[in-house]
Amino acid sequence: MTQKEALLDSLIEEMGVAETLKDKTFYLKAMVAPEKIAEAREMTPQEVREVYFRGTWRHIDNLVEEGGDMREALRSLAFGMLTTLEGAGTFCFCLVTPHPHPHNRLYQRVQGDNWFPQGGDPIFDGENHHDFIRLDPSRNPAEEERLAALREEEQIELEQVKQEHADRGRQEEKEEYEFSQLLEQLLEKHSWDDLMGLLKGLL
């Protein structure tokens, strides 16, 4: 067992999902450095509210930037709120009392992200509209700067992913070319039937 697998097993046991989690592959691929995982913790109710409000404002801004049909934009916003209510969206919690799926909490943790609380007091009360207004980037310069920095980080990550994909493509092309060259050299010395017979013998 690798250190990564051992760490995942300990997290699975700690978060109480050992009996329901069948496939660990997805979580192993998502795992980040142990130091980052160690820093992750359960969010406070205030942090959960801010995640939801910031996510909503960002969704609104994205719809405005994209333009297009207003009905489709409102439908998209309503659908996003519905998936959040159901705990199936990006935020994975209920608007009244948080109840994320245990596997969602494990996924957040292996990625080194803070996870949403399980049960407890209601997250939203009658005063939350003040926070919603406070986190509007168009009214709050600090939020506008935070959002701009976040978009810049995401753009950098996107460029890194594109570069990694291009590097993999070039490596695959190189390997295919080297293989074709090797095959040509072998065919100069041996017949195709001889090569197939050799390959069957190796298998």
Q: pLDDT tens digits for 16-59?
A: 888 888 888 888 888 999 999 999 988 888 888 888 888 888 87
Task: Spell out the residues 6+ positions from residue 81 whose beta carbon is closer than 8 angstroms to its own.
Answer: 56
Q: Is the pTM of this model over 0.85?
A: no
Domain ranges of the chain: 3-139, 160-202
Helix axes 192-202, 141-189, angle to 10 degrees: 120
Q: How far apart are CA 167 and CA 169, in angstroms?
A: 5
Residue 123: CB atoms within 10 A of its CB come to 22
pLDDT exceeds 70 at position 126: no
**Which pLDDT tens digit goes with each residue over 85-124?**
544 444 444 455 667 777 888 888 888 888 877 776 667 6
| Closest C-alpha among 82, 36, 34 to residue 56 | 82
Report the distance separating Cα 92 and Cα 187, nearest Å.
58
pLDDT at 92: 42
Mean pLDDT of the chain: 80
Q: Tens digit of pLDDT for each residue in 63-85?
A: 777 777 777 777 777 766 665 55
- Position 124 scores a pLDDT of 66
Name the residue among 122, 147, 152 with its Cα closest to residue 136. 147
- C-alpha 190: how far from its chain's center? 50
Query: What pLDDT score was predicted for residue 49?
Result: 80
Higher-pLDDT residue of 127, 144? 144
Alpha-carbon span 108 to 115, nearest angstrom: 6
CA distance 106 to 13: 10
